Amino acid sequence: MNCIRWLLVMIVMSLSSPMLAQDDDARERAQERYEAAVRLYWQVADDTDATIAAFGEVIAIDPVFVDAYAYRAAAYRVAGDYAAAEADLQTALELEPDSALAYTMRARLRLDQERFGEAWSDANHAIELDDTLPVAYFNRGRVHDLNFNYHLAIADFSKALELGMTLPQVYHARAIVYNQAAMLDEAIADYETVIAMTSAFVPVYFNLGTLYSSAGEYELALENYALYLRSADPIEPMVYRYQGEAHSALGQHDLAIEAFSQAINVVPLDMLALIGRAEVYRLQNKFDAALADINTGLQRDPQDWRLLAVRGLVYAETGDYEAALADYNAILSIVASERLYYHRAIIHDKMGNVEAANSDYAMAERFANRAP
């Protein structure tokens, strides 16, 4: 009897060993395909269809590969197929109810769906389940960002980087938040890191240009705007206006006019481009051209104090002080600043209104000395 039992055991083992070997081989192939699919997902110039297919191949080899379902859900989200994403996440959590990856990918989906409370809950739960998962911090950082919790977002993006998720997407996300938190040097550093890592993040050149402009580095701003225009498709029309502002700040008036004109050609209702061009025309003493732009703008918005301010300066510089004073009186009934009071004071001076001029100079000084 013992001999028979021994023979049966040996037969079962001989039959099951090849099956176990096949299972091990399948898992190894699935893992290799999964790692390749994850790399494809995080490529900057990603092909969503190819990414979805790649994770599908993993699942075909190993139908219980939880992380493959979670990542395929993320790819479906990027493709805008939220129903397919939901189905994959449901499968992942049925297979492994405590899958941190599934929860963090669901948090990102909820963010796109503007279900912010659920996004917050899932993002936190993912980190509770696995506090070493970099993508969980990255996704929670996105939740913080959209809730205007910039310093918490920065902390989470930094944690993702610390845990080894040194991808351009993470640096780019942190750069955006640094900018929103008025941490311009840090934002510039992160944008430059993105550019050093990949040339595929074309919008970075535009963002970096605006930061350099904010920092007064107009030459660098113009270099980045040029790089953006060379590669971007489609082009963000505001870049032409920003080029105009940078050229104007550098005293490159003809180039500023050219850039502002391009902005107006693309977006005729770009009031800031119209104001910018009018101001440069004024600086060039091309008063008729300045007034033409100003009047075009005022036809759209008769109460635009920025246009009235430029027109007031044009009137003052052409000796029409009564008209200039009327414009500045109208402006100061809408908005007040050191610069506006100072300009009106000069107009009063020119008209011989000494008392009114002194009053406005005093108001200008009061605004200048106000605590920020």
Q: Is a pLDDT exceeding 60 seen at residue 47?
A: yes
Q: Is a pLDDT exceeding 90 seen at residue 232?
A: no
- Binning pLDDT at 50, 70 and 90, where does residue 213 land? very high
Q: What is the mean pLDDT of residues 14-34?
A: 68
Q: Is a pLDDT exceeding 60 seen at residue 8?
A: no
Which contacts of 259-266 are long-range, i.e. CB under 8 A and separated by 24 or more positions? 263/237, 263/238, 266/237, 266/240
Going by C-beta distance under 8 Å and a sequence separation of 6 or more, which residues neighbour residue 223? Answer: 209
User: How many other CB atoms are there within 10 angstroms of residue 344's CB atom?
Assistant: 27
Confidence (pLDDT) at 26: 80
Which residue stretches of 215-270 are H helix? 218-231, 238-249, 253-266
Report yes or no: 75 and 42 within 8 Å, Cβ to Cβ. no
Using alpha carbons, select from 229, 267, 262 the residue that is nearest to residue 244: 262
Confidence (pLDDT) at 46: 62
Q: Which of 12-16, 153-157, 202-206, 229-233 has the lowest mean pLDDT?
A: 12-16
Q: Is a pLDDT exceeding 60 seen at residue 203?
A: yes
Q: What is the mean pLDDT of residues 252-258?
A: 97
Q: What is the mean pLDDT of residues 320-330?
A: 96
- Binning pLDDT at 50, 70 and 90, where does residue 63 land? very high
Q: What is the mean pLDDT of residues 140-157?
A: 94
Confidence (pLDDT) at 45: 54
Confidence (pLDDT) at 272: 95
Q: In the numeric block, which tokens belong to residue 349?
A: 């001076």
Domain topology for 303-372: 1.25.40
Q: Is a pLDDT exceeding 90 seen at residue 372?
A: no
Report yes or no: 202 and 231 within 8 Å, Cβ to Cβ. yes
